[in-house]
Homo-oligomer: A and B are copies of this chain.
Amino acid sequence: MRLSRYFLPILRETPKEAEIVSHRLMLRAGMIRQESAGIYAWLPLGLRVLNKINAIIREEQTRAGAIECLMPTIQPADLWRESGRYDAYGKEMLRIADRHDREMLYGPTNEEMITEIFRAYVRSYKDLPLNLFHIQWKFRDEVRPRFGVMRSREFLMKDAYSFDLTAEAGRHSYNKMFVAYLRTFARLGLTAIPMAAESGPIGGNSHEFIILASTGESEVFCHRDFLSFAPPPASVDFDDAAGLQGIVDKWTSRYAATSEMHDAAAFAAVPEDARVAARGIEVGHIFYFGTKYSEPMRAVVNGPDGKEVVVQMGSYGIGPSRLAAAIIEAGHDDNGVIWPESVAPFHVGVADLKVGDPATGKVCADLVEQLENAGLDVLHDDRDERPGAKFATLDLIGLPWQVLVGPKGLAEGRVEVKQRRTGERELLAPQDAVTRIVAATRQAQA
C-alpha cells in the first residue's frame, strides 16, 4: 500500500479526552474516531488490525468445531420476554420502537435468538453437539462509556453458543472453547489467565480470561506460574474429551481470581514469591448455564430413548474491538504501538527517505514488490515528507519492521532495517533485508 494514496490521519497532539494509553495511541495513530459517546468509526489502519484479530478468532473457533453464522443486530423484544430478561436487563439494553411501534432492541448478546434458531430446526440428539458462533456488532448503553474501544457502547463481539444432550457433553463443549480461547489469546500475543468468575446477567458458571495490565479495570490475584504456562498446540484433538479436561485442569490448578471472587485466605496459602496481585483487563468470558434458556424457551430434542430432553447450553464471548485496545495496553512504548506480527496492520514499513530520487525510489519499489510477493503486508511511505516525520510515524503505528532507504546508505549498497520491538538496527543489502524480514515474520507467525 502506498501511503500517499492511503488514509492515515496521524494526530500530532495527544488528545486530552483519552485517559489510557491504548485510547491515546489509537487516536494518534489514526486507527479510530469517536462519532458519539462510546461509538467509534474504525479508520483504515484500525480496521486492518480488527480484521486480523477476527481472522484468528475465526480460525480457532473453527478448529474447535464451532460453525459460523451471522445473526442480526436488531432483535424483537418478545424473544427476551420468553427468557425473562427483557425487564431484567435494565438500561444497558438499547430499546427501540419501530415505525409500527413494535418493541425492538439492539442486541447486547444473543442467547435468546440462538435458542430460537436451535429450537426451530433441531429435533434429534443425533444433531448434537452443536456450537454456532457469529462475529457481530452489539450495543450496551453504558452510563459512562470511556477508555475508547476498551469500554464502548457499540462494540464487536464474537459469541458462540453450544448445545448438548447431557451435562457431561456440555462440559466437553465448554472445555473446547476454554482451550480455543487459550490458543486465540496466545496467537494474539497475549498472556491470558482464566479466572473463575461471577456470571452476571447471563447466568451459570463461568471463567473470565484476564490479561495483566496496569490500566486494567479490575484488581486480580493469581499464581505466578500462569505467566509461564505454554498454550495448547495447534495439534490439540478437540474430540478427545479427557485430553481437553487435562488442559483445563492444568489451567485451573493454580489460584486465580478477580476481586469479586477473591478468597484472601486461599491467596495467602500461595507461596509469597508466587503471589501476583495486579490489575487486569477482561478479554474473554465463557459460561456454562445448562438449561437456563433452553428450559423456558423449550429448546428440546428427542433423546436416544425417544423422550424429550431439554438441551444443555453454554455461551462464549470475546470482544475483538476491545482486544485491539488490550493488545496495545500490553505492547507499546513512549514512541507508540508495538504490534505482534499476528495482528500488525502491515508487517513492514518501507520508507523512501528522499522521494523523487530515482535510486531510492527504485530500491523501495523493488523491496515492496519482493516483500509483497512473499505474502507480507507492506506500507510504502512514498510521501514527500522529511525523514524525521517518517521515523515518528512508523514508530507510532508500530509495524514490526521498518526499512529505511536513503541516498547515503544506498551509496554503499545498504538499507537500514529496524526491528520495532527491540529497536535493533542493521545495515543490510536490500536483498538481505528481504530475506531477514520474511524469515523473521514467518517464524513469528508459525
Contact = CB atoms under 8 A, between A and B. Distances in A.
Interface of A: 5-7, 9, 30, 33, 35-37, 39-44, 47, 50, 65, 67-76, 79, 91-92, 94, 96, 98-99, 102, 104, 106, 113, 116-117, 120-122, 130, 132, 137, 139, 141, 143, 153-154
A73 B153 CA distance: 11
A73 B41 contact: no
A35 B70 contact: no
A202 to B, nearest CB: 20
Contacts of A30: 121
Given A47-B69, A73-B154, A33 B120 contact: yes
A43 B99 CA distance: 27
Given A5-B65, A67-B6, A40 B72 contact: yes
A73 to B, nearest CB: 6
B70 A47 contact: yes
Contacts of A102: 36-37
B36 A99 contact: no
Contact of A76 (B36, B70, B91, B139): B36
A68 B106 CA distance: 25
B42 A69 contact: yes
Contact of A116 (B5, B35, B79, B132): B35
A35 B113 contact: yes
A404 to B, nearest CB: 23
A141 B67 contact: no
Given A75-B35, A113-B41, A130-B7, A70 B50 contact: yes
A123 to B, nearest CB: 10
In order of increasing CB-CB distance, the 7 nearest A-B pairs are A9-B121, A42-B70, A36-B76, A41-B71, A91-B99, A99-B141, A39-B72
A303 to B, nearest CB: 18
27 contacts: A5-B67, A7-B132, A30-B121, A33-B120, A35-B75, A35-B113, A36-B74, A36-B75, A36-B76, A41-B70, A41-B71, A41-B72, A42-B69, A43-B69, A44-B67, A44-B68, A44-B69, A44-B132, A47-B70, A50-B70, A72-B154, A73-B154, A74-B154, A94-B99, A98-B153, A99-B141, A99-B143
A41 B65 contact: no
A214 to B, nearest CB: 29
A444 to B, nearest CB: 25
Contacts of A70: 41-42, 47, 50
Given A96-B96, A98-B94, A35 B69 contact: no
Given A47-B68, A47-B70, A72-B154, A98 B141 contact: yes
B47 A106 contact: no
A92 B122 CA distance: 35
Nearest to A130: B7
A15 B406 CA distance: 67
A128 to B, nearest CB: 11
Given A36-B104, A143-B99, A137 B73 contact: yes
B35 A71 contact: yes
A351 to B, nearest CB: 18
A3 to B, nearest CB: 11
A125 to B, nearest CB: 13
B41 A69 contact: yes
A81 to B, nearest CB: 13
A137 B75 CA distance: 14
A102 B153 CA distance: 14
Contacts of A122: 9
A39 B106 CA distance: 12
Contacts of A39: 72, 74, 76
